[in-house]
């Protein structure tokens, strides 16, 4: 079967972006096209998949057609992919499958979200649309609330506490400080992160990712055309995905995410690796507790030991066996919902090619993964990238 | 002197033939509703108390201050309005008081000599005024959530599960909230069994007003946030619930709770009712 490589990747800076949807997408696509080593033009693209929750309701229908029209890719098959915050993680999976199936040779996977052009009240409407509206939302829950329930239960069942979450926050702010594309480029002290404003007890402001605008795009190519574009590809070795019940109360456990376990296990198996082989992981830390639990579900820490992992600084850049969120993660780099999954792929692509800002570079990185979660864990996509083809 | 019973967060007096139920709060020398109660929630509590004492009836005659659909879903009892009650054989009457009180009686000629307790909890006037104002704004037809949205049809579809804990009986155990097909692709039978209103807190959170869903945006600042518990029912299923009335309650994992119907929020002029958790004291 055909192998798939990443030949280019680009993104906007995350944050409060001055452009609208069209301008943001054009910027990300332009960056991705320009990152391809040899001549590349939009006409090389056979198909495109663009993840978006369509935040705020603007251009809900035919979003992908509008965006490709404004990035020189009009006329090709396109579609918007929606799986909440995992939208572009699944767009990436769809793009990978399009090449694997032999239907396309060059495919763009991307994502976009414009979140900061809404009033605070309308933003709150939209931040809840991906949760369980009928039961959880009528119990007063938005995502800070659902993740707070997970955190408190994890503290109860295992050796973990809020200080472990503070360590994750401090680490991700430190990683993101050097990232020119990050939304919040600010280091925070342990003491400051420990005493943040309470958002959803026990989660404080420093446990929550920001509300970001952003767009990201990666260009995938089939093995038989890769050399037309680059001699330095990053191989997308596997794609894993899973799902779980939408609402927490329907799940057997609220201290682990089955979708992540399914996605990572299938991705590792298909790539022929284990968690021990991973050098860097872009992990979906919409809330710090999400990263703590993901370190367990992805196999970096034993079940119940995610707190100890964070306490021992095991995810810090060039300090442990694996670096967790070298980009700063959602916490610092930002979280433009639909753009997050392919934004993670942009980071891994650059890390494996050794092209991030020098202080952020993971030494001798060979294998990186992305972990993109929808909502409180109803959907998840995990991708394995490698310097080597297999 | 009649015995005063604490029931579903209200005070009830029952003499075997009639029931008086009232709010435990007072404002300006009058009995007043708490933050999430109205005549409907109190009527549901009253009927459930009578049912627990073996007094069952299919219909009750009442004024339109009581929302019939919610009462029916929660208790199975049909509320007849003044117009249609003449044609029905209706034994029980529901009398709505001027203050936050209700009386159920099957003898309108009878002298009701209930004496409620004098030491009611006094509501802060500012708090009560702000909550009343928030509900008033929320009840306007123009107040529509534009994001996550539970339509009237969706709300009513789940009403028996939401208001009476009706669960589906399945080979895997009781299923609640209701689900469509099982892992074999077979339709799970309609809800037929009610969960007992007894559960244990497994986790909890308190959302700040700034983090509360838009449906609660008007009241959350007045309440100082939104408190939610994740519980496991004694029969197995789990659920998430707001905490009723008692904003001072700080849950702990392992606490036992019971439940009572309360106002959840209002949208497009319709109040959404649902169960809220009440800590079991002592």
Q: How many CB pairs under 8 A join A and B?
A: 125
Distance from CA of A138 to the nearest CA of B (A): 7
Bridge partners (DSSP) of residue A243 are A379
B chain contacts of residue A136, beta-carbon cutoff 8 Å: 240
Question: Which position has the token pair 């990232």?
Answer: A179
**pTM given for the model:** 0.95
Distance in angstroms (rounded) separating the CA atoms of residues A349 and A97: 19
Distance in angstroms (rounded) separating the CA atoms of residues B255 and B231: 9
B chain contacts of residue A211, beta-carbon cutoff 8 Å: none
Question: Which of A137, A149, A202 faces B213 most closely, judged by CB atoms?
Answer: A137
Distance from CA of B214 to the nearest CA of A (A): 6
Quick check: B154 contacting A, CB < 8 Å?
yes
Hey, where are the domains in chain B? 5-109+119-123, 152-279
Question: Which of A139, A142, A152 faces B242 most closely, judged by CB atoms?
Answer: A139
Distance in angstroms (rounded) separating the CA atoms of residues A192 and A196: 6
Residues A61-95 have pLDDT tens digits of 999 999 999 999 999 999 999 999 999 999 999 99
B chain contacts of residue A134, beta-carbon cutoff 8 Å: 150, 154, 158, 177
Look at A104-108, B151-155, B216-220 and tell me which has the smallest mean pLDDT.
Answer: B151-155
> Could you say which residues from 91 to 130 on chain B have a Cβ atom under 8 Å away from some Cβ of chain A?
none
Residues in chain B: 282
Partner-chain contact B213 A141, CB within 8 Å: yes
For B151, the closest chain A residue by CA position comes to A134
B chain contacts of residue A249, beta-carbon cutoff 8 Å: 177, 230, 237-240
Bridge partners (DSSP) of residue B203 are B230
Nearest of A26, A34, A28 to residue A340 by alpha carbon: A28
The number of angstroms, rounded, from the C-alpha of A278 to the middle of its chain's C-alpha atoms is 16
For B157, the closest chain A residue by CA position comes to A134
Q: What is the mean pLDDT of residues B239-251?
A: 85
Q: What is the mean pLDDT of residues B142-152?
A: 69
Partner-chain contact B239 A134, CB within 8 Å: no
For B250, the closest chain A residue by CA position comes to A201
Q: How many CB atoms are closer than 10 A to CB B190?
A: 10
pLDDT at B140 over 90: no
Residues B29-68 have pLDDT tens digits of 999 999 999 999 999 999 999 999 999 999 999 888 899 9
Distance in angstroms (rounded) separating the CA atoms of residues A128 and A145: 11
Question: Which of B158, B202, B216 faces A134 most closely, judged by CB atoms?
Answer: B158
Partner-chain contact B206 A139, CB within 8 Å: no
Under 8 Å between Cβ of B26 and B37: no
| pLDDT band at B81; cut points 50, 70, 90 | confident
Partner-chain contact B228 A141, CB within 8 Å: yes
How big is chain B by its Cα radius of gyration, in Å?
A: 19
Distance in angstroms (rounded) separating the CA atoms of residues A330 and A206: 12
Q: Rounded to 5, what percent of chain B is helix, strand, coil?
A: 20, 35, 45
How big is chain A by its Cα radius of gyration, in Å?
A: 19
Partner-chain contact A197 B154, CB within 8 Å: no
Distance from CA of B111 to the nearest CA of A (A): 42
Partner-chain contact A122 B242, CB within 8 Å: no
Alpha helices by DSSP H, listed for chain B, are 39-52, 68-75, 82-85, 125-138, 152-157, 159-164, 220-223
Distance from CA of B225 to the nearest CA of A (A): 9
Q: Which one of B149, B202, B207, B275 makes the best mutation probe of the A interface by having the most chain A beta carbons within 10 Å? A: B207
Q: What is the mean pLDDT of residues A169-173?
A: 98
Nearest of A244, A289, A279 to residue A263 by alpha carbon: A244
Q: Is the ipTM of this complex over 0.90?
A: yes
pLDDT at B147 over 70: no
Residue B87's pLDDT is what? 55
Helix A143-157 crosses helix A162-177 at what angle (to 10 degrees)? 120
Distance in angstroms (rounded) separating the CA atoms of residues B164 and B70: 10
SS3 label, residue A214: strand
Quick check: B216 contacting A, CB < 8 Å?
yes
Partner-chain contact B147 A153, CB within 8 Å: no
Q: Which one of A128, A145, A156 makes the best mutation probe of the B interface by having the most chain B beta carbons within 10 Å? A: A145
Q: Does domain B152-279 have CATH number 2.40.50.840?
A: yes
Residues A94-137 have pLDDT tens digits of 999 999 999 999 999 999 999 888 877 677 777 778 889 889 98
Residues A365-381 have pLDDT tens digits of 999 999 999 999 999 99
A chain contacts of residue B207, beta-carbon cutoff 8 Å: 140-142, 144-145, 148, 199-201
B chain contacts of residue A198, beta-carbon cutoff 8 Å: 206, 208
Q: What is the mean pLDDT of chain A?
A: 96
Question: Which of B145, B203, B216 faces A140 most closely, judged by CB atoms?
Answer: B216
For A54, the closest chain B residue by CA position comes to B147
B chain contacts of residue A125, beta-carbon cutoff 8 Å: 145-148, 214
Nearest of B136, B102, B113 to residue B23 by alpha carbon: B102
Look at A120-134, A207-221, A287-301 and tell me which has the smallest mean pLDDT.
Answer: A120-134
For A138, the closest chain B residue by CA position comes to B264
Distance in angstroms (rounded) separating the CA atoms of residues B86 and B66: 18
Q: What is the mean pLDDT of residues A295-315?
A: 98
Residues of A annotated as part of the active site: 85, 335
């Amino acid at each position: 079967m055909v192998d798939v490589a990443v030949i280019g990747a680009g993104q906007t800076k995350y944050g409060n972006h001055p452009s609208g949807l069209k301008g943001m997408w054009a910027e990300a696509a332009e960056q991705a096209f320009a990152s391809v080593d040899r001549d590349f033009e939009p006409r090389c693209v056979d198909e495109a998949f663009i993840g978006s929750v369509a935040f705020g309701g603007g251009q809900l229908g035919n979003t992908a057609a509008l965006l490709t029209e404004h990035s020189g890719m009009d006329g090709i098959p396109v579609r918007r992919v929606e799986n909440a915050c995992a939208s572009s993680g699944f767009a990436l999976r769809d793009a990978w499958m399009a090449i694997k199936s032999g239907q396309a040779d060059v495919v763009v996977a991307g994502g976009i979200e414009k979140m900061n052009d809404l009033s605070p009240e309308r933003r709150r409407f939209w931040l809840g649309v991906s949760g369980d509206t009928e039961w959880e939302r009528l119990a007063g829950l938005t995502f800070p609330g659902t993740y707070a329930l997970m955190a408190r239960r994890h503290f109860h069942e295992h050796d973990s506490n809020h200080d472990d979450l503070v360590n994750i926050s401090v680490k991700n702010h430190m990683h993101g400080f050097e990232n020119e594309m990050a939304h919040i480029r600010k280091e925070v002290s342990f003491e400051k992160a420990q005493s943040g404003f309470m958002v959803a007890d026990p989660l404080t402001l420093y446990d929550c990712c920001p509300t970001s605008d952003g767009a990201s795009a990666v260009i995938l190519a089939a093995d038989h055309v890769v050399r037309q574009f680059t001699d330095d590809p990053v191989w997308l070795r596997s794609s894993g995905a899973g799902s779980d019940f939408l609402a927490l109360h329907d799940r057997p456990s609220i201290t682990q995410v089955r979708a992540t376990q399914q996605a990572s296990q299938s991705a590792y198996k298909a790539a022929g690796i284990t968690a021990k082989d991973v050098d860097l992981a872009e992990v979906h830390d919409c809330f710090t507790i999400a990263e703590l639990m993901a370190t367990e579900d992805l196999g970096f820490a034993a079940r119940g030991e995610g707190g100890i992992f964070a306490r021992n600084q095991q995810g810090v850049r060039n300090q442990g066996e694996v670096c967790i969120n070298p980009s700063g993660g959602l916490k610092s780099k930002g979280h433009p919902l639909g753009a997050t999954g392919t934004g993670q792929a942009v980071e891994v692509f650059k890390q494996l090619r050794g092209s991030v800002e020098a202080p952020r570079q993971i030494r001798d990185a060979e294998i990186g993964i992305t972990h993109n979660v929808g909502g409180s864990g109803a959907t998840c996509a995990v991708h394995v990238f490698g310097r080597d083809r297999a | 002197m009649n015995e005063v019973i604490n029931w579903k967060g209200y005070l009830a007096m029952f003499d075997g033939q009639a029931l008086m139920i009232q709010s435990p709060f007072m404002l300006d020398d009058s009995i007043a509703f708490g933050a999430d109660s109205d005549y409907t929630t109190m009527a549901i509590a009253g009927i459930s108390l009578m049912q627990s004492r073996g007094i069952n009836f299919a219909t009750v005659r009442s004024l339109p201050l009581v929302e019939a659909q919610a009462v029916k879903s929660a208790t199975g009892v049909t509320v007849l309005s003044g117009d249609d009650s003449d044609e029905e054989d209706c034994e029980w009457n529901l009398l709505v008081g001027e203050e936050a009180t209700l009386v159920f009686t099957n003898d309108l000629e009878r002298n009701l000599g209930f004496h409620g307790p004098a030491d009611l909890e006094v509501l802060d006037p500012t708090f009560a005024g702000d909550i009343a104002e928030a509900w008033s704004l929320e009840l306007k037809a123009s107040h529509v959530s534009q994001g996550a949205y539970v339509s009237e049809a969706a709300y009513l579809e789940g009403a028996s599960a939401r208001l009476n804990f009706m669960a589906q009986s399945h080979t895997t155990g009781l299923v609640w909230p209701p689900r469509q097909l099982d892992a074999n692709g077979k339709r799970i039978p309609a809800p037929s069994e009610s969960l007992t209103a007894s559960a244990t807190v497994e986790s909890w959170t308190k959302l700040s007003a700034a983090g509360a869903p838009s449906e609660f945006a008007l009241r959350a600042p007045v309440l100082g946030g939104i408190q939610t518990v994740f519980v496991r029912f004694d029969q197995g299923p789990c659920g998430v619930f707001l905490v009723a009335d008692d904003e001072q309650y700080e849950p702990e994992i392992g606490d036992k709770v019971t439940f009572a119907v309360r106002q959840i929020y209002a949208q497009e002029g319709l109040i959404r009712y649902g169960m809220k958790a009440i800590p079991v004291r002592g």
